[in-house]
Amino acid sequence: MITLNSDQGLISVENWEDIELRPGFVTNLNPSDHLLDSIIGRYLFKKMIRCGLSNCHTLHAKGYIVTTKEGLSTNIGTVCGKKYFGVDFETLSKRFERDITEKENRNRLFSFSFQIEDIEQTISDLRQKEHGANWVNKKTRQLISANKDCPEVIVRRISAMLKTGTNILSIQREATQEEIETLETMQGRKIQRPYVIEEPIADIASIQALYPENDLKKLLVLDLEEPLKVFKGKDIDLLNFDELRHWAKWVNSVESTLEKAVTAVMLGNALLSRKNLEPFSKILTTRDDIAIFRSYLKELHE
């Protein structure tokens, strides 16, 4: 891979022979007779090529294309560049890499700008469709926050399940005489009566939809929609190095964030079915809580 930094932007060159045919390019430059002027390109190969300095010619696979104040150019490896041109080479190479990074990030942002409408439509479709992100977010928040839409006893139980990382819903009941005798035989000791045991009654599918990393408001609004509004108001040509780096990093995260949101909606739909959540009715003890939870279940899908 060969990259040249020009006034017209970044240029990719396929063949090394094209570099050697450039006007003023030499393969036997004496560093004692020339002053380093600028770095105009870099390369990275699988095969080894020879350094263009007359007193080096070391084989290497990674290096820079440099120009001299006398108007010549050649190629040098990173090690021999520091060795024969010292601080000047280090300064120029850092400046070159920074310039390349800046142009790459600016190009990346320009390219992303043409995808904005499609991304906005994807987000809108994901949010607005039946049982989409808006619905999933609303119904899942009711399961994990104090509200009038879901009994507090269920909210507390789900919170405990999330803390322990279990998807098993259990109820407490008094052990039978036979169960106690079995435990006494297994443990070799007398067990005080009455004895309460935890009895699993259901496996709740896709409870991970309630994990923080599947928070759809964060994924779609905070991580995508709000930054997108800010980005649309930016003039990419006027962004400085740090701003370009910040937005390029965000742009590179957009696709994965969308994928996480799609997965979160799928998990939410698997969780939010009447059949899946109905077992929580068995931990309710008051008429009011039972009525509230029945109303909640009616708003779920089959």
Q: Tell me what pLDDT residue 178 has.
A: 78
Q: Tell me, what's the pLDDT at 105?
A: 97
Q: Identify the domain containing residue 222 by its residue range.
A: 116-167+204-298
Whether the Cβ atoms of residue 292 and residue 280 lie closer than 8 Å to each other: no
Give the span between the Cα atoms of 2 and 290, in whole angstroms.
Answer: 69
Would you state the pLDDT for residue 247?
Answer: 98
Residues 96 and 135 occupy one common structural domain:
no
Q: How far apart (Å, rounded) are the C-alpha atoms in residues 128 and 133?
A: 7
pLDDT at res. 154: 96
Q: Is 33 exposed, middle or buried (0-12, 13-18, 19+ CB in 10 A)?
A: exposed
Whole-model pTM? 0.84
Regarding whether 129 and 40 lie in a shared domain, the answer is: no
Q: Which of 69, 96, 113 is the last residue of a domain?
A: 113
Low-confidence ranges of the chain (pLDDT < 50): none
Pick from 69, 73, 83: nearest CA to 43: 73
- Is 78 found in the same domain as 151? no
pLDDT in tens, 43-64: 999 889 999 999 999 999 999 9
What is the per-residue pLDDT across 155-208, written as a single tens digit (0 to 9) for each?
Answer: 999 999 999 999 999 987 777 777 766 777 788 888 787 766 778 899 999 999
Same domain? For 138 and 6 the reply is no
Domain count, the chain: 3
The set of residues, in sequence order, having a beta carbon less than 8 Å from that of 212 and lying 6+ positions away, is 218
